[in-house]
Structure 1
């Protein structure tokens, strides 16, 4: 090797050593100092104090009492627990779940939330979707199980008849637009008729104010009829794969009627899907049918309203990746059902209350200002069979299926 080449190689080696030394000196620490003191600054300390001294404040903080929270944590802990490393201790399942619940309860940004949970926004952007995945994977089968057998549908119909005097009702159906900040370069893809950007949430509720089906993710630009027709539920309904019970005689009656879902004017009138008689000039019999249908249909309106008021993430335009939004909405719906069954004070107010003496209705929570209503559309001439089924229900409600107070509500112009 020539002397000149040897000197050149030594010079290059010296430059590399110098660059590495400079890189070491300029390298920042891997976490901010206050974040390294998470046990000191985290809201975990506040939660422990609230659980002992102020249970009502704890319930307001996470939207559930401490016992229910511990039950939820025990179910999710196996999926949320991570391994400690030689570099640092892992963020615990307790910290991950409480941060996610606080995010759902407030709708705060990751940037804002990091200061109360003492977890960096970069970590939160991974932790919250992962926790939503854990909620879906762990709880969906038990708390958001779509009926698969005729017996399960019959149980739902029985509860509707007992609580809301609507026989053969399989569920209350409705859809809402969940407001979002549109992704970059998405144009008008998510732009809806309310001049907001959204994804569509279609849902069915049972008589106990619980979701039995949730379909989320259709872009808000799609017309309401198109969104409904693209849902998995309507696909199964059209193919007859829902195992819905056949036409049967109503309990303690000679009237034979099919099993139906109930919805508002945004839905098509079908033999298996009832909606109100349209127009302001209705006969007393038609108005009574609309009132009786509205008693069952308003359940899903209240469910959406309760969901929004408990998880105030829905009061914001959610500024996340659309796939993450789908996870968050699904996780919130599952948590609603979980809390409905396990937290006695979850629904203390917020549902419609009827005054059977004077025929007035005190409406509960509504989601109209946050989860936008589906657009009411003119569906055109209904099918003959569907109209016949609706007329049969009208005759039943005005005769042997009547209730003592229904005539008091016929003077109302609308049924919300």
Structure 2
């Protein structure tokens, strides 16, 4: 009831004739139990077979070799005591951050929860800044090495695979799609900056067409679990458990057949990854720029063109 209605602990306590502190303890314990008991079944770390299935689902949305749409969501909380501006974000509220990778069926495949709305360096941070922070595990998960990507190893050490039905463009990596706040990496595609025409504009349109999946997933999450419609008057630790529980229930309601593991998925949890090193600046490497240019060229080729991309 607390997650679905967004009522306060005191309102829920009146409905069940118990104390508000009892409700607070129950919510904290049950949210933690939901995450722990369902994690292996409804948010396992995908293996190579499962990544191929995810990429195949995105190929129907006219973006081949896509492994997920990535974005961050600020979950508004009351300012924790004795934290100063640690959780203060650029929107003028206090929050923790849900950073997620979503598949083509609006399911959360990888999440990282609990980052500060603002970093210790006292500057406002976007989703890309949070992604680059060393303590964020999702940054490591979206690199080629930690992922078991459906690719082959080249003499240069990169994991690559050809685009389907693209005879003239080979050696293309699988990628995650993100917005302008994220860095351009070999396995992370962001739009071309500024006003563009031609193939750059088509690339941005095709990327935005697929990246909307993560925006829609956040919208579904906030609409179905109305606890996101209010300021969470709980500690950051409890807020993290609430976000974990709602993400897990979101997947539970959308899993195919609602029975067991997905085909080929590993039972290893998607969290618990090793800390990633700091990415440094947002300057893209030549390899990353080349990957984006190959995608842009592919979308303009007869093999990759779709009839609606010039609208």
TM range (shorter): 0.7 to 0.9
Equivalent residue number for residue 129 of structure 1: 28
1:344-355 alignment, distance < 5 Å = none
Equivalent residue number for residue 315 of structure 1: 229
Following superposition, the deviation at residue 235 of structure 1 comes to: 2.1
Within 1, Cα distance between the matches of 2:141 and 2:43?
17
Q: After superposition, give the CA deviation of every residue in 1:301-355 in whole Å (9 maximum; x if it has no partner).
A: 00001100111111111010111110000000000111123799xxxxxxxxxxx
1:382 counterpart = 2:287: no
Following superposition, the deviation at residue 172 of structure 1 comes to: 0.4
The 1:302–1:108 alpha-carbon spacing in structure 2 relative to 1, beyond 3 Å, is: same
1:395 to 291, 297, 300: 297
The 1:381–1:125 alpha-carbon spacing in structure 2 relative to 1, beyond 3 Å, is: closer
Equivalent residue number for residue 307 of structure 2: 404
Within 2, Cα distance between the matches of 1:333 and 1:380?
29
Equivalent residue number for residue 250 of structure 1: 163
TM-score scaled to structure 2, two decimals?
0.83
Q: After superposition, give the CA deviation of every residue in 1:32-90 in whole Å (9 maximum; x if it has no partner).
A: xxxxxxxxxxxxxxxxxxxxxxxxxxxxxxxxxxxxxxxxxxxxxxxxxxxxxxxxxxx
Following superposition, the deviation at residue 238 of structure 1 comes to: 4.4
* Secondary structure of the corresponding residue to residue 138 of structure 2: helix
Following superposition, the deviation at residue 229 of structure 1 comes to: 1.9
Following superposition, the deviation at residue 134 of structure 1 comes to: 1.6
Q: After superposition, give the CA deviation of every residue in 1:193-252 in whole Å (9 maximum; x if it has no partner).
A: 111101111000001110001111111112234411232121234472112232122222
Within 1, Cα distance between the matches of 2:256 and 2:51?
23
Greater relative contact order: 1 or 2 (C-alpha under 8 angstroms, separation 6 or more)? 2
The 1:239–1:386 alpha-carbon spacing in structure 2 relative to 1, beyond 3 Å, is: closer
1:259 to 160, 171, 174: 174
1:227 to 124, 130, 136: 130
2:112 to 184, 204, 215: 215
2:204 to 270, 287, 290: 290
- Contact between 2:96 and 2:114, CA under 8 Å: does it hold in 1? yes
Q: After superposition, give the CA deviation of every residue in 1:356-383 in whole Å (9 maximum; x if it has no partner).
A: xxxxxxxxxxxxxxxxxxxxxxx75422
Q: After superposition, give the CA deviation of every residue in 1:263-318 in whole Å (9 maximum; x if it has no partner).
A: 000110011110111102x1221111111111111000000011001111111110
The 1:193–1:299 alpha-carbon spacing in structure 2 relative to 1, beyond 3 Å, is: same
1:180-219 alignment, distance < 5 Å = 180-219=77-116
Equivalent residue number for residue 413 of structure 1: none
TM-score scaled to structure 1, two decimals?
0.62
* Coordinate RMSD, CA, aligned: 1.7
Equivalent residue number for residue 112 of structure 1: 11
* Secondary structure of the corresponding residue to residue 199 of structure 1: strand
Within 2, Cα distance between the matches of 1:236 and 1:299?
19
Equivalent residue number for residue 49 of structure 1: none
- Contact between 1:229 and 1:235, CA under 8 Å: does it hold in 2? no
Within 1, Cα distance between the matches of 2:257 and 2:282?
44
Equivalent residue number for residue 175 of structure 1: 72
Equivalenced residues, count:
270
In structure 2, runs of 5+ residues without a counterpart are 120-124, 152-159, 259-280
Bigger Rg over Cα: 1
The 1:146–1:380 alpha-carbon spacing in structure 2 relative to 1, beyond 3 Å, is: closer
